[in-house]
């Protein structure tokens, strides 16, 4: 009964158009003051202790690193390198967009940042070459979603904070699925480009490829620093995020010199605003989780789902449906922070690996970012392409179906996610 009241109250507040973070906070306070005897001090205490976790510090640092890279010419050099490698295939520039998104995802940790950085450069070039605007928008909107699957990933950090799963293992688990999805999106792009005979580029010589690689090497080196540093034990994922921010600042301002010192203040302010928004959501989600736990709702739901006799296959199917529905109304951070504490205990009870479960949730979040009405990538791509959301929704369909097929594969073949972390963390 209490669970129904809490969720109905949350839904009503969200339907008013209120931001998800405020809806969560108001739901908690309204329920606690009217239906429980929990002291007000515990709410204040939870607000402070909820985000008192070292891992959370990674979020503002990865956001800052992503913003420096977006404004610092790194994306353009990655696109040039990607174009030199795959530009001669059918739909070469579009394939280069997928490749560049995968590379940028490996240094930014954010899907919208990847769409902005790569899309704002490659979409005008594609249209100039004669690609239909819809095709270009579809490629970049969906490939940008790789930003939260290929490590480092802000969504993975949030899942880690919520469930106490190792960030390092989650990052490692995202490598193989991320590369596999990039390949499948590239395959879809190539197939459509060949079918419609879209333009190809002149094949680059090995010298041209080497020059493009050398120019993008400073940006690509960040992948080695972050991932190599974490897995060699040189620093934690949080320290890696701080290193990434400092390194991104140095190469953007002093090496590539595309970002002027006078622009740094704006990048810092934008990063602070985005970080504050996410941390505010996390704080209110922690409060919501506290309320749920105090009312024994996750445990009750875990018992109820277990008693339905769904088994692992049925439970994972229900999880995917729930998360895809949630993706229609909320953005990824909120979904992870609300749903993970409810679904995680059931997954553990059924013997599902926490790392595999985390990757499954992240892939669901990727799909959610590419379909309406709240798909963040759609809104970002809409701003770049000046296309309406309904037109973009039609444009992303072929790639969206590819992502849904990939989701089924990730759900029921856990070794795709677990092979690399098991190899390294044995």
pLDDT in tens, 336-377: 888 888 889 888 888 899 999 999 999 999 888 887 776 778
CA separation (Å) from 231 to 223, 234, 244, 354? 12, 8, 15, 19
Q: Is the pLDDT of residue 69 over 70?
A: yes
Residue 182 CA, distance from chain mean position: 14
CA separation (Å) from 287 to 28, 33, 207, 338? 7, 14, 57, 10
> Are the C-beta atoms of 98 and 346 separated by less than 8 Å?
no
Let me know the angle formed at the C-alpha of 142 by 21 and 153, rounded to the nearest 5 degrees. 55
Number of residues assigned to the chain: 426
Rounded-to-integer distance, Cα 201 and Cα 89, Å: 7
For the entire predicted model, the pTM comes to: 0.85
**pLDDT score, position 250:** 93
Q: Is the pLDDT of residue 416 over 90?
A: yes
- Rounded average pLDDT over 260-283: 87
pLDDT digits (tens, 9 = 90+) for 10-25: 888 878 878 777 888 8
Residue 175 CA, distance from chain mean position: 13
Give the pLDDT band of residue 205 (cuts 50, 70, 90): very high
Mean pLDDT across the chain, nearest whole number? 86
Reduced to 3 states (helix: H, G, I; strand: E, B; else coil), residue 415 is: helix
Number of other residues whose CB lies within 10 A of the CB of residue 34: 8
**pLDDT score, position 236:** 84
């Amino acid at each position: 009964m209490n669970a129904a009241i809490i969720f109905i109250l949350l839904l009503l507040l969200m339907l008013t158009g209120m931001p998800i973070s405020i809806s969560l906070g108001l739901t908690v306070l309204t329920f606690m003051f009217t239906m429980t005897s929990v002291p007000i001090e515990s709410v204040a205490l939870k607000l402070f202790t909820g985000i008192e976790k070292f891992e959370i510090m990674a979020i503002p640092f990865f956001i800052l690193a992503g913003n420096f890279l977006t404004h610092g010419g790194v994306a353009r050099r990655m696109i040039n390198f990607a174009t030199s490698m795959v530009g001669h295939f059918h739909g070469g520039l579009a394939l280069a967009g997928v490749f560049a998104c995968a590379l940028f995802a490996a240094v930014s940790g954010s899907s919208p940042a990847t769409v902005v950085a790569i899309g704002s450069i490659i979409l005008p070039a594609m249209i100039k070459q004669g690609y239909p605007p819809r095709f270009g928008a579809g490629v970049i909107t969906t490939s940008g979603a790789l930003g939260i699957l290929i490590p480092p990933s802000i969504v993975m950090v949030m899942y880690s904070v919520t469930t106490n799963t190792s960030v390092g293992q989650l990052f490692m688990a995202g490598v193989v699925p991320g590369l596999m999805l990039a390949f499948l999106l590239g395959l879809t792009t190539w197939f459509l480009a060949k079918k419609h005979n879209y333009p190809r580029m002149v094949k680059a010589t090995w010298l041209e490829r080497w020059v493009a690689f050398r120019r993008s090497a400073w940006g690509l080196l960040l992948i080695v620093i972050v991932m190599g540093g974490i897995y060699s034990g040189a620093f934690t994922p949080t320290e890696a995020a701080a290193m990434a921010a400092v390194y991104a600042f140095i190469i953007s301002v002093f090496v590539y010199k595309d970002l002027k010192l006078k622009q740094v203040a704006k990048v810092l302010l934008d990063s602070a605003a985005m970080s504050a928004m996410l941390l505010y959501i996390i704080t209110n989600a922690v409060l919501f989780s506290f309320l749920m736990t105090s009312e024994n709702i996750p445990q009750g739901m875990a018992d109820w789902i277990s008693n339905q006799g769904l088994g692992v296959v049925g439970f994972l199917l229900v999880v995917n449906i729930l998360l895809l529905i949630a993706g229609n109304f909320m953005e990824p951070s909120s979904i992870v922070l609300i749903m993970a504490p409810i679904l995680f205990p059931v997954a553990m009870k059924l013997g599902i690996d926490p790392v595999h479960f985390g990757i499954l949730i992240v892939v669901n979040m990727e799909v959610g970012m590419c379909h309406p009405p709240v798909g963040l990538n759609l809104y970002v791509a809409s701003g770049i392409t000046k296309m309406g959301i309904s037109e973009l929704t039609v444009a992303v369909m072929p790639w969206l179906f590819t992502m849904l097929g990939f989701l089924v594969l990730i759900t029921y073949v856990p070794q795709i996610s677990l092979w690399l972390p098991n190899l390294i963390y044995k």
